Amino acid sequence: MRTREFYVAMFAAAALTCATSASAQSPYGIGRPATAAEVAGWNIDIDRDGHNLPPGSGSVSHGHEVFDQQCAACHGTKGEGGVGDRLVGGQGTLATKTPVRTVGSYWPYAPTLFDYIRRAMPQNAPQSLSNEDVYAVSAYILNLNGLLAADATLDAKTLSAIKMPNRNMFVSDPRPDVKNPACMSGC
């Protein structure tokens, strides 16, 4: 924070002379405060631990109905894929010649499913599903992958508690990992 304090000091005079609605801590006094309601309306981020998941819940059976109406046309009636990504199966294939990356085989965190469906799906009408429907569709996709019982209901707590099979298979970037000796002649 040393840098910022230096910066604040540097621009304190300028901020005072051209201050509008901003407080003295903002070097340029540009922008206006965001209210809690504005932030709450826009912040739809759900992290891997499920923080910020909304109230509500949805069952696998309701998710089946929503999926058939909203998702199956692109992802297949059983999540086998089509115009949209395959969502189901592939567990045990990631180290083979033909890996099948799906929610069940590849996705490391279950809350990401809620985050992505809510923000981006269905592709023709994103952010149109209710939170209950998003919980339900998430539940159905997890059920199709054998990760949730057919009579289960998902909410913030239960979705966050699901451990995905591929959770521990991600590693950080080790590059540079490939070396070219840069031979110039007689290579």
Partner 1 sequence: MTEPTDIDHDLAAPSRRRFLREGGALVGGAVVAGGLAGREALAARAETDNLPPNVPEWMKAPGDPMGSQLYGTPSPFEKGVVKNIPKNLPQYISASGRTPLQDLDGIITPNGLFYERHHGGVPTIDPAQHRLMLHGLVDKPLIFGMDDIRRFPSQSRIYFLECSGNPVYKKPYGKTASDLVGLLSCAEWTGVSLKLVLQEAGLQAGAKWVIAEGADAAALTRSIPIEKCLDDAMLVYSQNGERLRPQQGYPLRLLLPGFEGNMNVKWLRRLRVAAEPTYSREETSKYTDLMPDGTAREFTFYMEAKSIITRPSGGQKLGAPGFHEITGIAWSGHGKIKRVDVSVDDGNSWQEAQLQEPVLTRALTRFRLPWHWDGKSAVIQSRAIDETGYVQPTLAELLSVRGDNHFYHNNAIWPWRIADNGEVTNANA
Residues that bind partner 1 (CB under 8 A): 1, 3-4, 7-8, 22-23, 25-28, 30-34, 38-39, 42-48, 82-83, 94-95, 97, 99, 101, 103, 106-109, 112, 115-116, 119-120, 123, 126-127, 169-187
115/133 with CB nearer partner 1: 115
- As measured in angstroms, the least distance from the Cβ of 143 to partner 1 is 18
| DSSP characters over 52-119 | TPPS-EEEHHHHHHHHHHHTHHHH-TTS--SSSPP-S--TT-TTSSS----TTTT--BTHHHHHHHHH
C-alpha to C-alpha distance for 149 and 168, rounded to whole angstroms: 23
For residue 93, which amino acid is it? T
**Closest CB to partner 1 among 151 and 180?**
180
- Measured from the CB of residue 54, what is the shortest distance to partner 1 in angstroms? 15
Least distance in angstroms from the C-beta of 151 to partner 1: 27
Cβ atoms within 10 Å, residue 65:
14
Residue 164 burial (CB count, 10 A): 22
With beta carbons less than 8 A apart as the criterion, state whether 152 and 158 touch. yes
Nearer to partner 1, 42 or 151 (CB): 42
CB of 28 to partner 1, least distance (A): 6
Tokens for 106, please give them.
């590849």
Comparison of 150 and 163: residue with beta carbon closer to partner 1: 163
Query: CA end-to-end span of the chain, whole Å?
Result: 52
Q: Which is nearer to partner 1, 17 or 172 (CB)?
A: 172
Query: 31: which 2 tokens?
Result: 């922008």
Q: Closest distance between partner 1 and the C-beta of residue 30, in Å?
A: 5
